[in-house]
Amino acid sequence: MLLSELQPKTIIEIGAFTGGSAIWLTDCLEIFKIAGTVYSIDIDLSMLDEKARNDSRVNFVKGDGNNLGEVLPAEKLSQLPHLWLIIQDTAMVDVTGLLEYFHKNGLKSGDYLIIEDTNKWVWDSWGGGWKNQEEMENGRQKMANSHQTYQIFLNN
């Protein structure tokens, strides 16, 4: 429904994994007859499903979401038509850096930026039986810091 309403011309996903979500987004664009393009970035494209790998409609890009200047340089971004829908789907990328990068490089009023897994209690629900308690604590801390960041971002 959001896709149909927004009619995004550029979708940028950080975190491709098997490529399932990128293919789904591309299928949605086709179904809604939206002339948009999907870019799906992952630091490790080896996990892409074969069907995704062979789907020429999606632009899978190998790169580090913590180094967006290299993956999606400002000049490249300036050529991507708006409305942008940016979906951050990896806990391994610094949310502050991501927000700042797009904010300083073309994000416009009306564009959408979705940060997945931001529920404060997500680490607790994932935590049952997780052996590395230090990793759990780091995750909880990162989530708490991110919530402060969103608040600062939203207030400005």
Token representation of residue 1: 């429904």
Binding flag, residue 72, ligand SAM (CB under 6 A): no
Query: Which 3-state string (H, E, C) describes 72-88?
Result: CCHHHHHCCCCCEEEEE
> What φ, ψ does residue 42 adopt, rounded to 5°?
-150, 145
Q: Determine the Cα–Cα distance for residues 35 and 42; give it in Å rounded to an integer.
A: 23
Instruction: Please identify which residue in 6, 93, 95, 98 interacts with ligand SAM, judged by CB under 6 A.
Output: 93
Residue 93's contacts (CB-CB under 8 Å, 6 or more residues apart) are 14, 15, 65, 66
Q: Which of 8, 11, 15, 85 binds ligand SAM (CB under 6 A)?
A: 15
Q: Which stretch binds ligand SAM (CB under 6 A): 4-12, 38-46, 77-85, 132-140?
A: 38-46
Q: How far is the CB of 70 from ligand SAM (least distance, A)?
A: 11
Question: Do 17 and 42 form a contact (C-beta atoms < 8 A)?
Answer: yes
Q: State the nearest-atom distance from the C-beta of 77 to ligand SAM, in Å.
A: 16
Binding mask 112-151 for ligand SAM (x = CB under 6 A): ----------------------------------------
User: Which C-beta is closer to ligand SAM: that of 47 or that of 152?
Assistant: 47
Q: Which of 31, 92, 144, 152 binds ligand SAM (CB under 6 A)?
A: 92
**How far is residue 130 from each of residues 87, 122, 125, 133, 149, measured CA to CA in Å?**
27, 13, 10, 7, 27
What residues numbered 39-58 form the site for ligand SAM, per CB under 6 A?
Answer: 41-44, 47
- Positions touching ligand SAM (CB under 6 A) are 13-18, 20-21, 41-44, 47, 64-66, 89-90, 92-93
